Amino acid sequence: MAADSTLALSLVEEFVSGLQDSKAKDAAKGVKDGKFTVLQLVEALGSSLTSSQPHTRARGVLLLSEVLQECYRELTEREVEVLIAFYENRLKDHYVVTPPVLKGLKELTKCTNLPPGSAVSMLRSVFQDIHVQSLMLSERACVYSMLINIMETREAELKGLGADFVFGFVQSMDGERDPRNLLLAFQIAKNLIHRGYELGKFTEELFEVTSCYFPIDFSPPPNDPHGITREELVQALRAVLTGTPNFAEFLLPLLIEKLDSDVQSAKLDSLQTLAACVSQYEHKHVAEFLQGLWTAVRREVFQTSSERIESAGLAALTALTSCLSRSVLSSDSEDSLSTFLDFILTDCKHHLCEPDLKLVWPSAKLLQAACSASTSASHIITAAVMPSLLEQYNNRAQCSHRRTLLEVVQRFIHSVKNCQSSDNGECCVHCLLLESDIELALDHLTRLLLIEEDDTVSLAVVECAGALAQLHPALVISKLIPRLKNELYTVRQRCLSALAAVSIKPSVVQESTPVLLEVLRSAHTGDVSFSVDEVVLTCRSLQRIAEQVQDTEEAGRCFHNIIIPHLLSLALQAALQGSSGTPSPLIEEAVLSAMVPVISTSCSRLQPTLAGQTASRAVSLFLDGDVSFLPDNSFPSHMQLLKVCFLLCSEWRFLIERNTVEVPQIDKLLSALEEMSCTCSHPLSYTSAAKCFAGLVNKKPQGQFVLIQRTMKRVCSELDSPSSSVHTQAFTLMIWVSKALLLRYHPLFTTLTDKLFSLLDDAGLGPMAADGFSLLMSDSTDVLNRASHADVRIMYRQRFFSENKAKLVQGFNAAPQEKKPNYLKALSNIVNKLPKQVQVTELPALLSLLLEALSCPDQDIHLTTLSCLEPVLVNPPQVLIQQLEALVNRLLALLCSPAMSVRIASLSCISALSYFPVHEVLPFRARVLRALAKPLDDKKRLVRREAVQARAQW
């Protein structure tokens, strides 16, 4: 034991006198290893703790606190009791000793074996002996952490203190300014409120000490290592202020006052806090302040210029109305709801009678926000408003007024739909119309849809029908859809749009989609004559249905069993008919292209099991000619899928990029797609096959690229063969596979890149290769994008540019004169797709090539090069100023370009040159002004407008 005491004394001496902070860890290790106990360490600290020098005593206490930080879990109850008594005594010591004392007490509050009454004892000592706000930031944080720790483990003891604990906390927090400590203080205040501590006579004091920070005005410093945001502070304070109805008499006047502020963030915070607090209140808490609250909310909705504040004001009104509605259900007191709704109706209802004035929409929004709060509110408001709206509609003759009134009615329908009955949770639509009234309204809407000549009113009617279909799908199925089906062949476009608008519920979709598919069938068979535009509109209506229908298994089965098979069957029949007889309108490129998004969007709505089945069906149809799942499947055994295969490919492109779908026979499928890409003569088909092949390659696991390497050898062989008749097909496949590999940084991409650069010197394929770089660098909308779950790495464009810019420059310098435009076009296509920041950094090094590009005869090169140069001209580098004469010469020459877009872009660049240093551009002023005379008289108005701006700048 003597050796242990000697070790403890040695560590104490080195830490206290030698100022070796690392000895604290050695002392903690000694306690953990059992070489000496914490109390023996206290004995060894004896001379340090009784020293006449405050700093020596502080070092001694600090050593003990550092050891406790590591060893508090090993302490016995007796040791904890002794240490608490020691630390409480030291709180009365010199102020330099206080920080380590608080640190030690914080560690002791983490102990699970605190003796009974010790938590209260510690807090009494801290509250009595320490003025918290005179401490440094870290010491104040220690006090708050102590409170949080004790509230977690000794809640019952603290509640025994009654309101004294609240008073002690209020004194400790009063004046806190650091955001880190405020988060801790707000957490304590929230615990006091939500865990049922007695606030007593200190309720107002607790509110005052926290509400003084409302609204939060905090902007974190740049590179803040603590990461505290304004939103964190706002949410923490809001949880305190809205946590108890006892704050209502203080909080509501404060919110009314802050809503009168000119600071937008204060208004927004006040409205959001109002919406949060009234959800906790009863009518008796808000009754006194209803007039003031309504006036403030109305002002913000009527006068605001911010959509966020308007939305927050409407949400607050809905929450306040909901609060008052609870009094109707559960209180025998005066009905505050009727009083409040009277305020709203008095101030807003008369504006609905003036549909040409600007206050009609704010008034309608306020009424609709209140209407959506409860059954009672919706009944009162709709009973007061709907007759007036219907009367106004019948009395108004102007189409714009009638449209406005219809839109207002539509929004009321939405509001009533959103209103939830507190009894059974179902939409309380009975408070708006009886079923007979709804049938009458539906008949009226149908009549307007079919006979109304004004397109704007017709559009509003379609929107109203869509809103009504969400509430009453059964009536739409029984009344509206049969009527639209009968009138479809006379009022085609409106009926098609209306069928799409009402198809939101799966039950409606099952009735409406067969009608649209019948239109496509009739167009194919020629039973009814439809134009190509009308067939395209039918496909777009199907796409809209697929996009908006509720995502349920019932809807998924409708797509799986009805829509996708029928579309494929019709397309197959059209392809076969086109090769043997009168061509069907369904094989028109516009129609086939419109079918693609229908199928891909339909596939997106399938559940994983159905998606897997659909993928299996599509692969079997393509590879084996299995038409068993198609309706009207009497197809020849060896049918040609030429003009419909790209529909299948569009389906696969979506399915294969869903991580949950496993594609069957993938190697066989890749081989078939390769064959089609390289041999098919139909552009849509071989392009879609190439995209599908690329989509599969992009998702293929690493190490499974033997088949792809074989394909690339075939492609390169075709491209190298002068006698090959499928150069275009092979190149299309190569460029899409290149993009698939580029997006995922695959090593094979380098080989394809070298091949692509070599094609720039090819007489036939050079221009196509130059255009291919634009495809590589652009975002694809239908395949190989993040929306379809492709493997896309960050900054792939920048990486491609940095790895290949030297090849471009070298190839340009070595190419003969007639091939140089290909390199310039490739460079322009690459640079034009880079982020603007990268363009500004990299363009100076490529300036000579870009100036050369402006001298090429290709107008596409001109346009892409000018779009690259324009952002650099805003803040020109020195190398650009040195080339100013060459740049001016080329830009002035382009003013006579046959392409309007080139003339406009060159004028925009000339205008930007006027901001160069005056001494640099002044020598060119007279020449530029003379050259601008011709575009000032250009036959195109947009060119003349740009020329006027450029001349004014010069």
| Highest mean pLDDT (candidates 63-77, 317-331, 350-364, 581-595) | 63-77
Q: How many residues does the chain have?
A: 954
Q: How confident is the model at residue 579 (pLDDT cuts 50, 70, 90)?
A: low
Average pLDDT, integer, range 291-306? 86
Residue 20 has pLDDT above 80, yes or no: no
Average pLDDT, integer, range 760-766? 81
Which residue is listed with tokens 């403890």?
Answer: 8
Q: Residue ranges per domain, the chain?
A: 1-115, 116-220, 433-502, 866-953
Q: How confident is the model at residue 847 (pLDDT cuts 50, 70, 90)?
A: confident
Average pLDDT, integer, range 131-156? 88
Average pLDDT, integer, range 760-780? 83
Q: How confident is the model at residue 273 (pLDDT cuts 50, 70, 90)?
A: very high
Q: What is the pLDDT of residue 763?
A: 76
CA 930 to chain centroid: 50
Residue 268 has pLDDT above 70, yes or no: yes
Q: What is the pLDDT of residue 142?
A: 92
Average pLDDT, integer, range 729-754? 84
Helix (H, G, I), strand (E, B) or coil at 420: strand
Cβ neighbours, 10 Å, residue 695: 28
CA-CA distance, 514 to 538, in Å (whole number)? 12
Residue 420 has pLDDT above 70, yes or no: no
Average pLDDT, integer, range 396-411? 79
Q: What is the pLDDT of residue 886?
A: 83
Average predicted confidence (pLDDT) for the chain? 81
Average pLDDT, integer, range 495-515? 86
**Which tops the pLDDT comparison, 312 or 597?**
312
Percent of the chain at pLDDT above 70?
91
Which residue is listed with tokens 């949880």?
Answer: 239
Give the helix/strand (H/E) hosting 116. none
How do residues 616-625 score in pLDDT, each as one tens digit?
777 777 777 7
Average pLDDT, integer, range 310-329? 84
Do 214 and 269 contact (CB within 8 A), yes or no?
Answer: yes
Residue 216 has pLDDT above 80, yes or no: yes
Average pLDDT, integer, range 475-500? 82
Do 751 and 712 contact (CB within 8 A), yes or no?
Answer: yes
Q: What is the pLDDT of residue 186?
A: 92
How do residues 636-687 score in pLDDT, each as one tens digit?
554 444 434 544 554 444 554 454 566 677 778 888 888 888 888 778 778 8
Sign of the torsion formed by the C-alpha atoms of 537, 542, 545 and 547 = negative
Helices (DSSP H) in 581-682: which residue ranges?
A: 589-604, 608-624, 645-656, 666-679
Q: Of 112-121, 445-454, 692-701, 945-954, which gets the smallest average pLDDT? A: 445-454
DSSP string, 318-348: HHHHHHHHHHHHH--S--HHHHHHHHHHHHH
How do residues 59-74 score in pLDDT, each as one tens digit?
888 888 888 888 888 8
Q: What is the pLDDT of residue 433?
A: 55
> Phi/psi of residue 427, each to 5°?
-65, 130
Q: How confident is the model at residue 803 (pLDDT cuts 50, 70, 90)?
A: confident
Helix (H, G, I), strand (E, B) or coil at 222: coil
Q: Of 181-195, 415-429, 859-873, which gets the smallest average pLDDT? A: 415-429
Residue whose C-alpha is closest to residue 186's, from 316, 178, 122, 258: 178
CA-CA distance, 448 to 442, in Å (whole number)? 10
Q: What is the pLDDT of residue 775?
A: 86
CA 872 to chain centroid: 31
Cβ neighbours, 10 Å, residue 490: 8
Half-sphere exposure (Cβ direction) of 552: Cα atoms closer than 13 Å: 12
Looking at domain 866-953, its CATH class is mainly alpha
| Highest mean pLDDT (candidates 444-453, 565-574, 879-888, 943-952) | 943-952
